[in-house]
Amino acid sequence: MNVLILGGDGYLGWPTSMRFASKGHRVTAVDNYLRRTLAEETQSEALISTPNLLERSAIFKAATGLDINVEIIDCTDACALNRVVQHCKPDVIIHYAEQPSGPYSMRGFNEAKKTFDNNLQTTFNVVWAVIQHAPQCHIVKLGTMGEYGTPNIDIEEGWLEIEHKGRKDTFLFPRQAGTLYHTTKVLDTDLLWFYVRTYGLRVTDLMQGPVYGLLTTESEQDDRLLPNFHYDDIFGTVLNRFLVQAVAGIPLTVYGSGGQTRGYLNIVDTLQCLELAAGNPVEPGKLRVLNQFTEQFSVNQLAERVAEAGNSLGLNVTVQSLPNPRKELESHYYNAAHQGLEQMGLKPHLLDKPTLVAMLKVIIKHRLKIDKSKILPRVSWR
Amino acid sequence: MNVLILGGDGYLGWPTSMRFASKGHRVTAVDNYLRRTLAEETQSEALISTPNLLERSAIFKAATGLDINVEIIDCTDACALNRVVQHCKPDVIIHYAEQPSGPYSMRGFNEAKKTFDNNLQTTFNVVWAVIQHAPQCHIVKLGTMGEYGTPNIDIEEGWLEIEHKGRKDTFLFPRQAGTLYHTTKVLDTDLLWFYVRTYGLRVTDLMQGPVYGLLTTESEQDDRLLPNFHYDDIFGTVLNRFLVQAVAGIPLTVYGSGGQTRGYLNIVDTLQCLELAAGNPVEPGKLRVLNQFTEQFSVNQLAERVAEAGNSLGLNVTVQSLPNPRKELESHYYNAAHQGLEQMGLKPHLLDKPTLVAMLKVIIKHRLKIDKSKILPRVSWR
């Protein structure tokens, strides 16, 4: 397949690019280094400094003999994106090209505007590049479980049949997210669903939970191929942050009472899910929504597991509660369906102690680079 | 009250500006003439040429002694909008400042992009101008009944309690619109609801049906104060188009089988609704949604009524079915709640024969200006 990966320099975009190239697909990875720029601006650099996308591609080529074509363009520039789509003729576009941080999007007007403009304009341009230059292309869009928020009913996979006053219809499952970043993904979904039903696009929306981990088959070949591992309060996901705190000898910081429950998955399962979604395209005029996570945990449960794994390595891990900087429920109902990807063949890698220990060992190798000042919450919207 | 009206030069914006000024409020009307520009670009000029906003304000002042302050700015320019909000200190912002045509938004990439950027960026900037400079201000946003589409269940006023697997929660009523224009309003609603619940904004979303009519108390004082009356396929609403066709002696053009049912209202009722919404602000942190129409009609029913009124004036009206240029259901269930505004005091002006005859008489005065080439559908997305 011709695979176009937008946001190919990202935490997931780069491992995805390597995976598809390793499986023999013709991969083009697109990025404009927005996340690198924002990480620098907010003093939220990743734990392990990573070569840029062109360098990564060259290192990967040296290690494997495989090509990853790189295009450094801004996807909010419709002409530039059109040119790449025309040239690449993708069978599938994997769309990660969004400002990915909730806290960043809640910092103030400038950050909100940058998030809003980048994410919406990119999605709009992807739709139109496909309409104009690759109408049969399957768009695989990374959504987020965060779009659903924490409703008081079971979360289904994207759709809900509603019976009301004796009549029935099926609608997108209600979405009400907790940050502007997550809200831009709600808007993305609305926009994609409009163009799917009106112009017959083919779209898979992967509603992903927070991802953890840094080791994948491809990144284990050369340390310089590791993903951008963020542990800061802005770009880091909760479990990655806890693991770094455990190694740094500082308490794991639980926001509020720690009952916030979400669905999580290992980065290696993200890669499986992307392969499954891309390998099984949907029909024209269909929006397929898949909830992409493998296990539900509360923040307290995550902290306990990290503490246990860390203590087994002699790290003496402690847990501390902080006033919650976020506006969110700390105790709520949460039960989300996630059968779709398992039915398609996903074999989950669960959050067991060996997995946590392996991650801790990688972080221990880089422990001198941990900057503790980046970990405590610097953005609040309570 | 200090009232800031965004899109104050529009079909509804200008009559609204006059109404609030007549009621003694301090009115600032903002526009950048986007609709005038697009109407010119698409050869869709209004029936009666209207003075520009500064001229209208001067004519209104001469006729009534009342001021309408005018600011010619582009609301997608956040700095400009912030400056106006800081200066005007509005108690209420009435937000009409959107590209308002469904067919225009479906013409191609450029028109879609202009619609998407204008409508989303303006709404985003309104939110932030209020957060930063007028946090107590009540935002009255013009939505559209078209956001709901034509679901197979009763349409409620904005919200729906859903029972699912024995548990309950209340969500925004599902929205799935038929054009990109209407979809931008769905996205607006999602965005406003996010900032309402996160930052405690006060928002009323008026889900308006297609409006008809051109006479209001204020416009009757001077023909130059009439609204921009569009009868073309792009900016004209269906009933206004039918009335002009009746006067021009050409068939009323029904798209497809004509069973498309919507809720309609008279422009004088739009003004009442705006007064009611602005005069009854919602509490901080509340999104009030009101369905703004007074009667439901199918397109065939509208055509029949116009034919009857036209024939009573000797116009010999005929009706013709055209292949539908739109992707929409032509026969569907439709039952939409609209009690909220009537409970607040709305006294509906229904679509009776005298109303239609009065409108026909105004159009007859301007019959020589009718350009028949603007009426048949020039945009299709079937």
What's the mean per-residue pLDDT of chain A?
97
Contact call for residues B200 and B285 (beta carbons, < 8 A): yes
Residue B214: predicted pLDDT: 86
The answer to whether B327 is a known catalytic residue is: no
Give one DSSP letter per residue of B77-101, joined into a string.
-HHHHHHHHHHH--SEEEE--S---
Share of residues in chain B with pLDDT > 70 (%): 100
Question: Smallest Cβ distance to B187: which of A131, A190, A381?
Answer: A190
The answer to whether A104 is a known catalytic residue is: no
With contacts defined as CB-CB under 8 Å, which chain A residues touch B131?
109
- Give long-range contacts, CB 8 A cutoff, 24+ apart: A118-122: A118/A34, A118/A76, A119/A181, A119/A184, A119/A185, A119/A187, A119/A188, A120/A184, A120/A187, A120/A188, A120/A191, A120/B116, A120/B120, A120/B187, A121/A75, A121/A76, A121/B117, A122/A6, A122/A75, A122/A76, A122/A81, A122/A95, A122/A97, A122/A98
The CATH architecture assigned to A2-374 reads 3-Layer(aba) Sandwich (3.40)
Contact call for residues A182 and A262 (beta carbons, < 8 A): no
Instruction: Give the gap in angstroms from C-alpha A142 to the nearest C-alpha of chain B.
Output: 18
What is the value of ipTM here, to two decimals?
Answer: 0.97
Nearest one of A43, A31, A37 to A84, comparing CA atoms: A31
Question: Which residue among B148, B181, B212, B231 is the active-site one?
Answer: B181
Report pLDDT digits (tens) over B43-96: 999 999 899 999 999 999 999 999 999 999 999 999 999 999 999 999 999 999
Give the integer Cα–Cα distance in Å for A113 and A136.
Answer: 32
The answer to whether A122 is a known catalytic residue is: no
Averaged pLDDT, A159-174: 98
Report pLDDT digits (tens) over A325-352: 999 999 999 999 999 999 999 999 999 9
Q: How many CB atoms lie within 10 A of CB A164?
A: 18
**Largest Cα–Cα distance of chain A, in whole Å?**
64
Residue A298: predicted pLDDT: 97
> Per the CB < 8 Å rule, is B162 touching A153?
yes
| Contacts of residue B375, Cβ cutoff 8 Å, sequence gap at least 6 | B231, B232, B233, B236, B241, B244, B245, B248, B250, B253
Query: What is the phi/psi pair of residue A352, to 5°?
Result: -100, 175
pLDDT(A203) > 90: yes
Structure confidence at residue B257 as a pLDDT band (50, 70, 90): very high
Instruction: Using the structure block, give the residue that is written with the tokens 């979400």.
Output: A262
> Which residue from B minimizes the CA distance to A174?
B171
In a mutagenesis test of the B interface, which of A163, A179, A191 is the best target, namely the one with the most B β-carbons within 10 Å? A191
Strands A69-72 and B138-144: unpaired
Question: Which residue among A50, A144, A179, A355 is the active-site one?
Answer: A144
Report pLDDT digits (tens) over A221-267: 999 999 999 999 999 999 999 999 999 999 999 999 999 999 999 99
Contact call for residues B140 and B92 (beta carbons, < 8 A): yes
Task: Specify the DSSP element, H or E, that contains B123.
Answer: helix B109-133
Query: Is A342 exposed, middle or buried (CB count within 10 Å of its CB: 0-12, 13-18, 19+)?
Result: middle
Residue A29: predicted pLDDT: 98
Q: Does B162 touch chain A (CB under 8 A)?
A: yes
What's the mean per-residue pLDDT of chain B?
97
pLDDT(A214) > 90: no
Residue positions counted in chain B: 382
Averaged pLDDT, B213-235: 93
Give the integer Cα–Cα distance in Å for A119 and A115.
Answer: 6
Residue A275: predicted pLDDT: 98
Report pLDDT digits (tens) over B278-288: 999 999 999 99
Give the integer Cα–Cα distance in Å for B284 and B290.
Answer: 17
pLDDT(A159) > 90: yes
Give the integer Cα–Cα distance in Å for B15 and B94.
Answer: 12
Question: Smallest Cβ distance to A124: which of B113, B193, B197?
Answer: B113
Q: How many CB atoms lie within 10 A of CB A315?
A: 18
Residue B382: predicted pLDDT: 87
Structure confidence at residue B100 as a pLDDT band (50, 70, 90): very high
B157: region left, alpha or beta (phi > 0 left; psi from -120 to 50 alpha): beta
Residue B280: predicted pLDDT: 98
Contact call for residues A374 and A233 (beta carbons, < 8 A): yes
DSSP B154: -
Give the integer Cα–Cα distance in Å for B12 and A156.
Answer: 41
DSSP B217: T
Averaged pLDDT, B5-14: 98
Nearest one of A125, A34, A32, A129 to A88, comparing CA atoms: A129
Averaged pLDDT, B223-231: 94
Helix A299-312 to helix A353-365 angle (10° resolution) is 70
Query: Is B338 exposed, middle or buried (CB count within 10 Å of its CB: 0-12, 13-18, 19+)?
Result: buried
> Per the CB < 8 Å rule, is B128 touching A117?
no
Nearest one of A356, A174, A203 to A278, comparing CA atoms: A203
Report pLDDT digits (tens) over A93-141: 999 999 999 999 999 999 999 999 999 999 999 999 999 999 999 999 9
Report pLDDT digits (tens) over A256-307: 999 999 999 999 999 999 999 999 999 999 999 999 999 999 999 999 999 9
Question: Smallest Cβ distance to A194: which of B163, B172, B183?
Answer: B183
| Contacts of residue A61, Cβ cutoff 8 Å, sequence gap at least 6 | A67, A68
| Domain parsing of chain A, residue ranges | 2-374
Coil, helix or strand for B307?
Answer: helix
> Per the CB < 8 Å rule, is B124 touching A132?
no
Instruction: Using the structure block, give the residue that is written with the tokens 């705190």.
Output: A245
Averaged pLDDT, A363-372: 96
Q: Does A308 touch chain B (CB under 8 A)?
A: no
Q: Does A104 touch chain B (CB under 8 A)?
A: no
Nearest one of B173, B205, B166, B184 to B121, comparing CA atoms: B184
User: What is the pTM for the complete model shown?
Assistant: 0.97
Residue A5: predicted pLDDT: 98
Question: Smallest Cβ distance to A164: which of B160, B168, B180?
Answer: B160
Size of interface A-B (CB pairs under 8 A): 113
Give the integer Cα–Cα distance in Å for B48 and B62.
Answer: 21
